[in-house]
Structure 1
Amino acid sequence: MELNRQPPPTRRFSTGERENAIDRTVPVLPPALEFDEHNYFDHNAPPEYLDGMTKQVQKFLDFHKHNRVVLVTSGGTTVPLENQTVRFIDNFSAGTRGATSAEYFLEQGYAVLFLHRQFSLLPYSRHYSHSTHCFLDYMDERDGSVVVDPKYQEEMLSVLRKYQAARTKNLLLLLPFTTINQYLHTLRAISVIMQPLESRALFYLAAAVSDFFIPPSRIPEHKIQSKGGGNKLVMDLDPVPKFLNRLVEKWAPSAMIISFKLETDPTILIFKAEQALERYSHQLVIGNLLQTRKTEVVFVGPGQNHDWLRLSDEQQADGIEIECMIIPAVVKLHSQWINRR
């Protein structure tokens, strides 16, 4: 494993004509203010299941009130185009980073709240879902019973034991969402419940959150008809308020908060990460490029502190996951955060 402060080598990617691309150097929207928070949450109803979910979270946190707890967000949010949703806009994310990171947090002794897109990858089961193999490929028949194919038994037993240990010790709580509205309401509610943990609370915001949505006042009730607009679909979307600063300042003011910045252009990755860190005043941005996100990331902290974490060619060949470097480094920073509070 390699940890250094050197930028990655210059790469060329085939991403279309640059002159036709959106200017990614334009500043992002300003942080949401208290007015924006009230305006959004007063006019976008919470999901029906929120009360029941918050009770689950409260019970989980009561059990872990003296432990470190991390909220890992994972997967992409959807933006429904109809109230009775048939069509929606989705965000690119299978939840790989979040699901993998959750496992390594559990290995570090954290209790994990896993706020994930429904049907995205989950800790432990990710090893056997969303893969090139059908799940049944891992099965075999012996004497009229279903068993694990012998060539997969050792690996699957190891994963099973880790999963069972997490369940037995009540270290993992799975919390699903689908839409951007469900995600935001749930994030705010969980954040407030986590406040008593103070600095022992960690937010690892790996979800791919939609930048735009359709307010309830403009969303159609029924399925949009394909020929209703002259064979064109023109959408008027509003920007999703940037609530990260509300999380930092109001919802969980004593917690350590980590966000992610995904880009495709290596020349602006550091700039965009520094911009987010300055704008929202949280503790760390983990930057990654779409093309190399599984093999290298950069930690962008206060004071232009840039630490690159990279897998070597040998580690990549051995199937080592970059999260086995990311999470211990995050835990070290979290320990420093706790000690300074």
Structure 2
Amino acid sequence: MTVATKERKLTIARAMAEAIAQEMRVDERVFVMGEDIGPLGGVFGNTRGLHEEFGSERVRDTPISETAFMGAAVGAASDGMRPIVELMFVDFFGVCFDAIYNLMAKNTYFSGGEVQVPVVLMTSTGGGYSDAGQHSQCLHATFAHLPGMKVVAPSNAYDAKGLMTAAIRDNNPVIFMFHKALQGMGWLGTEKDAIVHVPEESYEVPIGKAAVVREGNDLTIVGITSGVHHGLKAARQLAERGISAEVIDLRALVPLDRATVIESVRKTGRLIVVDEDYQSYGVSSEIICSVAEQGVPLKAAPQRVAYPDIPIPFTPPMEQWALPNADKIVAAYELMEKHS
């Protein structure tokens, strides 16, 4: 007799906290640092319940000094610990970039592989709620461009737990980029499709393997975090016109699963890439370039739906005008067909 598994839906925030707690229980080297991650449980809910279970030695609230706690994390990791550090907003990377890129990302290479730096840097990305230009960027390409670090970015709670578990266990530094609008925090305006069934037991989602989240034959839509959900909504709109769109969730930017994208585009012959990061020099152009370099035959010129190359506005109408959405993806498809 088959026993039905009870559905257990979690938000991304809860899934992240659960993965961290499970790894902390089995590995005393794992600890967490960051601003407001202790009794408050993190501004975005990623560490709720951890302080109560593990105490202030392993869940450490830090001063507002990103340079100090990033440097401390690199030192601790180099000495055998496995720190998880929250950089509250990815925009704040500017004040601690030396510790991230000149130390965390490079020290294993500089030491000839003798010194591992297993830091997980989790940081929030994305806008849509009028927090202006210093709290609303994605900056996916900024980190993906720099060798020495893995970069993951989940779109749903199942992947968030599995990717966090994999990141903590990885001996490389990992940047864990979570989109604020997908966290499940009501005040941010939650994407309901990001709240999915999450197994209670520990598991890993492989870093560097994309997922085909909707199969199709006429068009490939590639997204990351919020872009996946825009892609799925656009696919449903296009389906009403008889157009079958395949949607791919990259899940990680480094390593980048080019093979899954290329295989899909070989089938569909059309490609749209969706990214809330800035359009120029970004993930969208890297994906398109990867397809072009392999000589994949296309039925129409590829399109990208990304953030324009402007500082993020504070005022809601201007910000919403700039953000990617499903309607812009549909419009990109229409433009593609017009010129094909």
> Same fold judged by TM-score > 0.5?
no
TM-score calculated relative to the size of structure 2: 0.32
Task: Answer with 1 or 2: which has the greater Rg.
Answer: 1
TM-score calculated relative to the size of structure 1: 0.32
More relative contact order, 1 or 2 (CA 8 Å, 6+ apart):
1
